[in-house]
A and B are shown apart, each in its own frame.
Chain A
Amino acid sequence: MTQVRASQAGTTTAADAPSNRVVILGALSAIAMATARIYAAEGAALILVARHSDRLAAAAADLRARGAARVETVTLDLESGAAESASHVSDWASMLGGVDHFHVVYGYLGDQNALPGNPAELARILSVNFTSAALWCSAAGEYLRERKRGSVVAVSSVAGDRGRQSNYAYGAAKGGLALFMQGLAHSLAPSGARAVAMKLGFVDTPMTADIEKKGALWASPDQVGMAIRRAASRGGPIQYAPGMWRLIMLVIRSVPSAVFHRTRL
Chain B
Amino acid sequence: MDQLSPAAPGLAIGLRRSYGDSGLNPGGRVIDMTGLDRLIAFDRSTGVMRGEAGVSLSQCLRALVPAGWFLPTTPGASFVTLGGAVANDVHGKNHFSAGSFGNAVRRLGLRRTDGAVHDLQPGDPLFTATIGGLGLTGVIEWVEFQAVRIPSSWLDAEDVAFRNLDEFFDLSDERKDTAEHAMAWVDGLAIGASLGRGVYSFANWSSANRSRQEKSAPERERPRKKMPMDAPGFLLNSFSVKAFNEIYNGLKTMQAGKRLTHHEPFLYPLDAISDWNRLYGARGFYQYQSVVPTVTAREAVRDQLKLIARSRQGSFLAVLKNMGPILSVGTLSFPMSGTTLAMDFPNRGKRTLQLMSDLDRIVMEAGGRLYPAKDGRMSASMFQAGFPQWKDFRAQVDPGLSSGFWRRVSA
The residues in B between 57 and 78 inclusive whose CB is less than 8 angstroms from any CB of A are 62-63, 66-67
Instruction: Check if B222 is an interface residue, CB within 8 A of chain A.
Output: yes
Instruction: Please state if A65 and B41 are interface contacts (CB–CB under 8 Å).
Output: yes
Instruction: Check if B219 is an interface residue, CB within 8 A of chain A.
Output: yes
Report if A11-B41 is in contact (Cβ < 8 Å); known contacts: A67-B63, A67-B66: no
Determine the chain B residues whose CB is within 8 A of the CB of A11 once the complex forms: 219
Instruction: Please state if A41 and B66 are interface contacts (CB–CB under 8 Å).
Output: yes
CB distance from A33 to the nearest CB of B (A): 8
Determine the chain A residues whose CB is within 8 A of the CB of B224 once the complex forms: 3
Interface SS majority for chain B: mixed
One digit per residue, 1 when the CB lies within 8 angstroms of any chain A CB and 0 when it does not, for chain B 42-60 equals: 1000000101000000000
Q: Give Cα A222 to B220, complex, Å.
A: 13
What number of B residues sit within 8 Å (CB to CB) of A?
Answer: 16
Determine the chain B residues whose CB is within 8 A of the CB of A64 once the complex forms: 41-42
With beta carbons under 8 angstroms apart, the residue of B38, B62, B222 that contacts A61 is: B38
Instruction: Please state if B219 and A62 are interface contacts (CB–CB under 8 Å).
Output: no
Instruction: Check if B214 is an interface residue, CB within 8 A of chain A.
Output: no
Instruction: Check if B221 is an interface residue, CB within 8 A of chain A.
Output: yes
Q: Give Cα A36 to B295, complex, Å.
A: 53
Determine the chain B residues whose CB is within 8 A of the CB of A59 once the complex forms: 38
The residues in A between 43 and 80 inclusive whose CB is less than 8 angstroms from any CB of B are 58-59, 61-62, 64-67
Instruction: Please state if B221 and A62 are interface contacts (CB–CB under 8 Å).
Output: no
Report if A65-B219 is in contact (Cβ < 8 Å); known contacts: A3-B224, A41-B62: no
Instruction: Please state if B66 and A65 are interface contacts (CB–CB under 8 Å).
Output: no
Report if A67-B67 is in contact (Cβ < 8 Å); known contacts: A62-B38, A222-B221: yes
Instruction: Please state if A10 and B40 are interface contacts (CB–CB under 8 Å).
Output: no
Instruction: Check if A14 is an interface residue, CB within 8 A of chain B.
Output: yes
CB distance from A99 to the nearest CB of B (A): 24
Instruction: Check if A257 is an interface residue, CB within 8 A of chain B.
Output: no
With beta carbons under 8 angstroms apart, the residue of A10, A61, A67, A222 that contacts B41 is: A61
With beta carbons under 8 angstroms apart, the residue of B38, B42, B49, B66 that contacts A58 is: B38
Instruction: Check if A7 is an interface residue, CB within 8 A of chain B.
Output: yes
With beta carbons under 8 angstroms apart, the residue of A3, A7, A14, A65 that contacts B40 is: A65
Report if A61-B221 is in contact (Cβ < 8 Å); known contacts: A41-B62, A67-B63: no
CB distance from A69 to the nearest CB of B (A): 12
Residues on A lying within 8 angstroms of B by beta carbon are 3, 6-7, 10-11, 14, 41, 58-59, 61-62, 64-67, 222
Instruction: List 11 contacting pairs A-B, 8 Å CB cutoff, sorted by A.
Output: A6-B222, A11-B219, A41-B66, A58-B40, A59-B38, A61-B40, A64-B41, A65-B40, A65-B41, A65-B51, A67-B66
- Further 7 A-B residue pairs, CB within 8 A, beyond A58-B40, A61-B41, A64-B42: A14-B216, A41-B66, A61-B40, A62-B39, A65-B40, A67-B66, A67-B67
Sort A-B residue pairs by CB-CB distance and give the 9 closest, nearest first.
A65-B39, A65-B42, A62-B38, A66-B63, A62-B39, A10-B219, A58-B38, A61-B40, A65-B41
